[in-house]
Amino acid sequence: MNLSDRPLWLLPLLLITGCASLTTPDFGSELALCQEQLLARPGDGDITRDSSVYRPAEQPYFGISRVNAAFAVDSLDGTAFAEWKTRVVQDSWQELAAHQQRTLGTEMTSSRSCLVALAQTTPQADWAAYADSARDHDLYRDWQRWVGLYPLTSLVVSSRIRSAQADWRRDYGGPFAADGHIYHPATEHQTDPDTVRDWLQQAYDNSPLDLPHLPTEQLQALQQQHAPAFKVLQDSAADQLGSVTAMDGEPSFTTEPAVAYIDHGYTRFEGQWLLQLSYTLWFSERPKGHALDIYGGPWNGITWRVTLDTAGQPLWFDAIHNCGCYHQIWVDERHLARDDIGREEPLFLPFDWQGRPRLTLLPGTHYIRRVVDAEQAPEGAITGQSDYELAAYDTLLTLPDQGSADSVPVSMFRPDGLVAGSERLERLLLWPFGVQSPGAMRRNGTHAIAFVGKRHFDDPDLFEQLLEPVRD
């Protein structure tokens, strides 16, 4: 059985006993030596600048995500606390291993043993304090807001956002003049609904934290089942769906193969943890319409996300561009937008299709302007159809360098989460809102999705803030 197939709270014991079989130092009480030699090696300092998670100043090699920060750690019992620590260690090791591949050319498995040893010897009260600090971690620069006269400028921008959303809502659904190319998932897997319900029920039963953590094979089956089709309207080479590689130490776009990068996470709604599946697309650019186009530039992309209920059926869908902009939510008659969202709302649209969706993306901008059942006959001229592959989102952190066989892997993202070279001129106008480089593409975990107020795409309480169920 794969480790990922076991109840998560058992993994600390498995990892600790597994460390005995690794060729590693016997740390004993020499945890300081462990930290110095295996976690804070010269040249490894950039790991502490990763902004996709909160990193405690006292132990910056551990990263605490917003989901992990959502738990009241000081009140967790023994088995729940063991599961929580295991999640932190797994996330931290995944990040550290990728960093070591990029800087050293290989993973140091002894560093994983060191993380486990440190996690086990760190008191629960310290972990609780780290989680409390992580809940206050956001991606907004308050000093910029005050310098930029945010109380005044936000009035103008919130009005402009509402006006733009009214235009989007009016144009949503087409018709569209441009020809389109349809991309289908290469593997269209379907699992019986009762089987999916059983998978999730077992996952909830196995988790003291009540998280639906699925074994790898089951998770992949759901990711295949909910992978959408994409109809990309064609106007230039910038409308070819592709994938990311690396060349001479820099990320590089290629049209072969076409890939959707898959990830998963969790959200909390009505007291229940729910599974989320996300699909990230990349395009080479958003072409500039003219020299002073503030939105155009290299790299462009979208992330489509589905939230599943406890039986594995879609509750709602949402999407952003990979800059964190243009948050859209598709809801059906079971949910309503809350009345107290604030001055900047997402764009709410109807979830009115059955089965696998097909998204229509506009040429150049790649705005999502229609979603229908993938089985519905496509409207307009179709220039071609092809398959796209699914790949783990984390592969973007260790891209093989095609420029040299001796090169170390390359990350698509800088330590601050941004894609180098993807800056937009709009950052100069939107500077007063405290978001780093508005319009630039960025990695999961670093998406601020509101200019007025504060909101993050990976906030586990996001939908508690935005939606409410329809009451009978």
Tally of CA atoms within 13 A in the half-sphere of 341 that contains its CB = 19
Asked if residues 458 and 444 have their Cβ atoms less than 8 Å apart, the reply is yes
Write down which residue in 110, 135, 160 finishes a domain.
Answer: 135
Q: What phi and psi, each to the nearest 5 degrees, are found at residue 215? A: -60, 155
Give the separation between CA 67 and CA 265, rounded to whole angstroms. Answer: 8
Non-local (6+) Cβ contacts of 261 within 8 A are 279, 280, 281, 282, 391, 392, 393, 395, 396
Task: Tell me: pLDDT of 140 over 90.
Answer: yes
**One domain, residues 130 and 178:** no
What Å distances lie between residue 309 and 55, 189, 202, 319, CA to CA? 31, 19, 14, 18
**One domain, residues 312 and 171:** yes
Task: Tell me: pLDDT of 12 over 50.
Answer: no
Q: Average of pLDDT values for 94-121?
A: 89
**What is the share, in percent, of the chain residues with pLDDT greater than 70?**
90
Give the separation between CA 61 and CA 55, rounded to whole angstroms. Answer: 7
Task: Tell me: pLDDT of 361 over 80.
Answer: yes
Instruction: Quote the domain boundaries for residue 15.
Output: 3-135
Exposure string for 382-418, b = 16+ CB within 10 A, e = fewer:
eeeeeebebbebebbbbbebeeeeeebbbbbbbebbb
Q: What is the DSSP string of 389-440?
A: EEEEGGGGGSB-BTT-TTPPPB-SS-TTSBPTT---THHHHSGGG-BSSTT-
- pLDDT at 380 (0 to 100): 86
Give the separation between CA 29 and CA 135, rounded to whole angstroms. Answer: 31
Q: Average of pLDDT values for 245-270?
A: 96
**One domain, residues 284 and 189:** yes
Non-local (6+) Cβ contacts of 143 within 8 A are 434
**One domain, residues 153 and 115:** no
Give the separation between CA 349 and CA 328, rounded to whole angstroms. Answer: 7
Average pLDDT score, the chain: 90
- Cis status of the peptide bond prior to 185, with omega within 30 of 0: no
**One domain, residues 398 and 291:** yes
**One domain, residues 203 and 219:** yes
**One domain, residues 119 and 152:** no
Least confident of 96-105, 152-161, 349-358, 408-417: 96-105
Q: What angle do CA 234, 323, 224 make, to 5 degrees?
A: 65
Write down which residue in 135, 156, 187 finishes a domain.
Answer: 135
Write down which residue in 135, 153, 171 finishes a domain.
Answer: 135
Task: Tell me: pLDDT of 178 over 80.
Answer: yes
- Comparing C-alpha atoms, which of 52, 57, 59, 131 is closest to residue 95? 52
The number of distinct structural domains making up the chain is 2
Residue scoring higher pLDDT (248 or 404): 248
- Pseudo-torsion of CA 203, 204, 206, 210, nearest 10°? 130
Q: How far is CA 168 from the centre of its chain?
A: 24
Look at the block and give the residue holding tokens 């605490």.
64
- Cis status of the peptide bond prior to 212, with omega within 30 of 0: no
- Pseudo-torsion of CA 54, 411, 255, 328, nearest 10°? 10
**One domain, residues 51 and 7:** yes
Cα end-to-end distance, the chain, whole Å? 45
**One domain, residues 365 and 327:** yes
- Comparing C-alpha atoms, which of 460, 464, 198, 185 is closest to residue 312? 198
Task: Tell me: pLDDT of 469 over 60.
Answer: yes
**One domain, residues 172 and 206:** yes
Q: How confident is the model at residue 257 (pLDDT cuts 50, 70, 90)?
A: very high
Q: How far is CA 415 from the centre of its chain?
A: 15
| Token pair belonging to 426 | 């709009």
**One domain, residues 53 and 174:** no
- pLDDT at 47 (0 to 100): 64
What Å distances lie between residue 304 and 73, 230, 327, 425, CA to CA? 31, 11, 10, 25
| Token pair belonging to 143 | 């000093």
- pLDDT at 37 (0 to 100): 64
| Token pair belonging to 427 | 């950052």
| Residue 302, strand partner residues | 281, 321
| Residue 304, strand partner residues | 279, 319
Which tens digits make up the pLDDT trace of 23-69? Answer: 334 444 467 777 766 776 545 456 666 778 999 988 888 999 999 99
**One domain, residues 147 and 131:** no
- Comparing C-alpha atoms, which of 16, 183, 171 is closest to residue 89? 16
